[in-house]
């Protein structure tokens, strides 16, 4: 079966690509979401869970920014310049995946005190929750498009080896 570059990336170099490009960022995002629920429910202003949430937020945002930069240079630019995309489904899968940086990087920057400095703790919690929710949405949309056979829309005729 033909696959998108997104799924091909996850399938190659098993299990390392799956761990680096999927498991680490998504598990961290899910851990952020769960800890966020507990923080909101308990109205926690400090404590171990807040510290965990902050550390994971900083790590995940910076980690995913590294993934974004790497894949932009190693995949997106070369595929775009060579016309190697497998059609619109492929572009959507990779595009939605990489758009996760729009949501995770601001979490890191906020937790590091670089942006949203004048926001209250409650406002920051709200922004944090919106950002992590946005990441989970685009990550799941990327997974859905990534699992679709790109030949549904494109015949992939530019791929002689397929």
Residue 85, CB half-sphere, CA atoms under 13 Å: how many?
A: 17
Residues 103 and 26: their CA atoms lie apart, in Å, by: 13
**Residue 46: its pLDDT value, please?**
85
pLDDT of 155 over the 70 cut: no
Residues 128 and 150: their CA atoms lie apart, in Å, by: 34
Residues 33 and 112: their CA atoms lie apart, in Å, by: 19
pLDDT digits (tens, 9 = 90+) for 48-70: 999 999 999 999 999 999 999 99
Binned at pLDDT 50, 70 and 90, residue 160 comes out as very low
pLDDT of 161 over the 70 cut: no
pLDDT digits (tens, 9 = 90+) for 71-92: 999 999 999 999 999 989 999 9
**Residue 122: its pLDDT value, please?**
87
**Residue 40: its pLDDT value, please?**
87
Number of C-beta neighbours around residue 111 at 10 A: 22
**Residue 157: its pLDDT value, please?**
52
Length of the chain: 162
Question: Angle at Cα 140 formed by Cα 135 and Cα 141, nearest 5°?
Answer: 100
């Amino acid at each position: 079966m033909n696959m998108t570059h997104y799924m091909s990336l996850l399938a190659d170099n098993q299990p390392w690509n799956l761990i680096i490009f999927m498991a680490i960022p998504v598990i961290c995002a899910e851990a952020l979401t769960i800890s966020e629920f507990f923080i909101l429910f308990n109205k926690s202003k400090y404590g171990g869970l807040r510290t965990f949430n902050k550390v994971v937020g900083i790590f995940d945002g910076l980690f995913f920014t590294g993934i974004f930069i790497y894949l932009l240079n190693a995949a997106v630019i070369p595929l775009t310049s060579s016309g190697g995309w497998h059609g619109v489904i492929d572009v959507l899968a990779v595009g939605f995946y990489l758009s996760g940086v729009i949501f995770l990087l601001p979490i890191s920057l906020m937790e590091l005190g670089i942006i949203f400095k004048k926001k209250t703790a409650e406002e920051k919690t709200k922004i944090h929750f919106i950002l992590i929710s946005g990441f989970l949405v685009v990550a799941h949309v990327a997974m859905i498009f990534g699992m679709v056979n790109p030949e549904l829309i494109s015949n992939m005729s530019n791929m002689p080896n397929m």
